[in-house]
């Protein structure tokens, strides 16, 4: 695979080049190491493309996972507790999870346990590789990356997406770089409030 396009949001790429250049290089090496031809294994069952050989999201995800894990990138999970009381939630969000739970219980409510999970984190940089449904990208950008940034777990997030050219050779409903670039741009320069690098890839 190759990087065909990239967009630096809130100086995300600039941060990497100055502070985590070796990690940015690792991500680029992993992308270059993914054999696109070997991932073209999914036989389409869609009416308009029945029998056509498409790129498999499962195989591509596996290739990225193998490459990143081999370089020491690992999953990171952050647990937190919820209630329906918005004022309470604002006050406890930044607290450790045990204190969040205690505060909700002391208010007479039942705490609800939840979590955010990022697949690949290393030295305060998060990477999400998204070949699933297009709605998952917004969750990555506006929930996962933002939550880990606000919680002081990461300094920048990287979102890897197929270019339209690659998306057209995959099952329907897959996200693509050009659309999600617009989704970020139309929010304005400060939203989401986390430094990001959007990366568009294709064979």
Q: Is 13 in contact with 6 (CB distance < 8 Å)?
A: yes
Q: Is 81 in contact with 104 (CB distance < 8 Å)?
A: yes
Q: Is 103 in contact with 88 (CB distance < 8 Å)?
A: yes
**Confidence bin at 6 (pLDDT 50/70/90):** very high
Domain residue spans of the chain: 2-155+189-202
Q: What spatial distance separates the first Cα and last Cα of the chain, rounded to whole Å?
A: 5
**Confidence bin at 130 (pLDDT 50/70/90):** very high
Supply angle C-alpha 163, 164, 167, rounded to 5.
90
The CATH T-level fold of domain 2-155+189-202 is Restriction Endonuclease (3.40.91)
Q: Which of 40-49, 60-69, 126-135 has the lowest mean pLDDT?
A: 40-49
How many Cβ atoms are within 10 Å of 107's Cβ, its own excluded? Answer: 13
Length of the chain, in residues: 203
Distance, in Å, from the CA atom of 26 to the CA atom of 146, rounded to the nearest integer, reads 22
Q: What is the pLDDT of residues 145-189, one digit of tens each?
A: 998 998 889 999 999 999 999 999 998 788 999 999 999 999 988
Please tell me what DSSP assigns to residue 66.
H
The dihedral sign for the CA sequence 26, 15, 161, 116:
positive
**What pTM, to 2 d.p., does this model score?**
0.89
> Tokens in use for 67?
């490459």
């Amino acid at each position: 695979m190759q990087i065909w396009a990239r967009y630096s949001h809130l100086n995300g790429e600039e941060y990497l080049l100055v502070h985590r250049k070796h990690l940015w290089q690792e991500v680029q090496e992993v992308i270059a190491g993914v054999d696109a031809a070997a991932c073209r294994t999914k036989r389409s069952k869609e009416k308009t493309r029945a029998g056509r050989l498409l790129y498999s999201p499962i195989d591509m995800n596996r290739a990225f996972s193998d490459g990143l894990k081999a370089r020491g990138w690992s999953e990171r999970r952050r647990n937190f507790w919820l209630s329906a009381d918005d004022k309470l939630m604002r006050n406890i969000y930044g607290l450790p999870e045990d204190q969040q739970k205690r505060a909700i219980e002391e208010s007479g409510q039942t705490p609800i346990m939840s979590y955010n999970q990022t697949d690949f984190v290393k030295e305060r940089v998060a990477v999400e590789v998204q070949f699933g449904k297009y709605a998952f990208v917004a969750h990555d950008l506006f929930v996962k990356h933002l939550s880990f940034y606000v919680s002081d777990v990461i300094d920048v997030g990287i979102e890897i997406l197929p270019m339209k050219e690659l998306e057209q050779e995959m099952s329907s409903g897959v996200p693509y770089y050009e659309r999600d670039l617009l989704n970020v741009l139309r929010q304005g320069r400060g939203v989401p409030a986390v430094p990001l690098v959007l990366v568009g890839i294709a064979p």
